[in-house]
């Protein structure tokens, strides 16, 4: 029987149809319609390899973006402290003093100058927690990641000198930390 199938597979009848048995024609057509299971598994494996490389890199890029946003926020707070000093003759001792009034329709003043957005005045923005404290010579700004190693790898510090300093450990940056370049 096998010899007969091999012999008749390549021959054509007068009508031009292959003289292949029906069960072999169905098998051949089904092999030509789609991808085999092995081909699909190889494609899935390649996609998984690409994702395993790309996802950690995306996390690093996101963390870098959050760190740069924190530096920008520290610089914004520095500028608004200078503006607050020019309006009220003293530096703000908290973010709430730089932020908008909390009561609807309340006037801006020394307790709520409306110089920074409410989200930043709440002390949290872009994966970082911000604080402003009074110092004998002015003020100090501290920015610490909400989750060290996930939302940021560095802490930041600045004061009335407007120099931003960084620390690459979980400890908050201080006036003695390295200057951000």
End-to-end CA distance of the chain: 83
Domain that holds residue 170: 66-103+111-179
pLDDT at 7 over 50: no
Tens-place pLDDT, residues 96-112: 999 999 888 788 889 99
Residue 71 lies in a domain: yes
Residue 43 lies in a domain: no
Per-residue pLDDT band at 1 (split at 50, 70, 90): very low
150, 60 in Cβ contact below 8 A? no
- Residue predicted with more confidence, 56 or 113: 113
Residue 139 lies in a domain: yes
Rounded to an integer, what distance in angstroms lies between the CA atom of residue 172 and that of residue 145? 10
- DSSP states of 107-167: PPBTTB---S-HHHHTTEETTEEEEEEEETTEEEEEEEESSBTTTBS-EEEEETT---EEE
Rounded to an integer, what distance in angstroms lies between the CA atom of residue 130 and that of residue 118? 13
Q: What is the mean pLDDT of the chain?
A: 86
Residue 27 lies in a domain: no
pLDDT at 93 over 80: yes
Rounded to an integer, what distance in angstroms lies between the CA atom of residue 88 and that of residue 81? 10
Helix (H, G, I), strand (E, B) or coil at 4: helix
Residue 8 lies in a domain: no
Residue 90 lies in a domain: yes
Average pLDDT over residues 143-167: 95
Residue 15 lies in a domain: no
Residue 161 lies in a domain: yes
Q: Taking the CA atoms of the chain, what radius of gyration do you get in angstroms?
A: 34
Per-residue pLDDT band at 56 (split at 50, 70, 90): confident
């Amino acid at each position: 029987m096998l010899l007969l199938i091999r012999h008749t597979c390549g021959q054509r009848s007068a009508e031009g149809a292959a003289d292949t048995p029906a069960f072999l024609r169905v098998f051949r057509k089904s092999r030509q319609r789609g991808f085999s299971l092995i081909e699909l598994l190889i494609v899935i494996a390649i996609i998984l390899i690409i994702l395993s490389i790309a996802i950690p890199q995306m996390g690093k890029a996101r963390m870098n973006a959050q760190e740069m946003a924190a530096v920008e926020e520290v610089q914004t707070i520095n500028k608004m402290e200078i503006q607050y000093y020019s309006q009220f003759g003293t530096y703000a001792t908290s973010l709430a003093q730089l932020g908008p009034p909390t009561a609807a329709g309340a006037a801006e003043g020394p307790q709520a100058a409306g110089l920074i957005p409410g989200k930043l005045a709440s002390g949290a923005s872009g994966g970082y927690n911000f604080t402003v404290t009074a110092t004998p010579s002015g003020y100090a700004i501290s920015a610490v990641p909400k989750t060290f190693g996930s939302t940021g790898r560095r802490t930041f510090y600045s004061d009335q000198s407007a120099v931003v300093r960084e620390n690459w450990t979980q400890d908050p940056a201080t006036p003695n930390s390295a200057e951000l370049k």
